[in-house]
Amino acid sequence: MRAIFLTICLLAGVMTAPAAQPARFVKPDQQVARELLESVYNTWRIGMVRKNEAAWRSATSRSRQQKVRNLIVSQKGDFPADFFRNQPEPPSLTNFKYIGTIAGCGNRTMAATYVGKVQLGDSPANETAFVLLFVLDEGKWKFDQSRMFNLS
């Protein structure tokens, strides 16, 4: 499991780190990081489920908010109404086993990794790694994005 966690975190870090700088990772206090990041993710998730823009904004990084807004407006959509329309419900972390958290970019980013069975559509449930990516934004941890990796 630790090898899977490290591989996934390294992939997540490489995918989001600038190419010119080598990635440096730190292992934060796992219990503190888990509690903090799960609180942020659950605030974001509830905001999405309830279509609550204030909750979504409070837990989402400014850069992600701007990317989402720009995408919708560029497609002549109405933000935030079109964003919350037809969004699938984000997965609950209760269906996953926490593996660990790793920090990078001078402790300004963290990736939390979970493993569990995920069923998408009509396909059978597969063992999946769920990586949540967070950034330190104006002194507060904010959710930025997630990635899923099929482990089967």
**pLDDT > 60? residue 46:** yes
CA–CA separation, 13 and 60 (whole Å): 19
Of the candidate ranges 22-26, 49-53, 98-102, the one whose mean pLDDT is the lowest: 22-26
3-class state of residue 99 by DSSP: strand
Confidence of residue 65 (pLDDT cuts 50, 70, 90): very high
3-class state of residue 10 by DSSP: helix
CA–CA separation, 116 and 91 (whole Å): 11
12-16, 62-66, 125-129: range with highest mean pLDDT: 62-66
* Tens of pLDDT, residues 93-149: 998 999 999 999 888 999 999 999 987 777 888 899 999 999 999 999 999 999 999
In the chain, the amino acid numbered 112 is: A
Confidence of residue 5 (pLDDT cuts 50, 70, 90): low
**pLDDT > 70? residue 13:** no
Would you state the structure tokens that stand for residue 93, as one six-digit string? 């972390």
pTM of structure: 0.81
- Mean pLDDT on 10-35: 72
Q: Is 18 exposed, middle or buried (0-12, 13-18, 19+ CB in 10 A)?
A: exposed
Across the chain, mean pLDDT equals: 87
Would you state the structure tokens that stand for residue 2, as one six-digit string? 């630790």
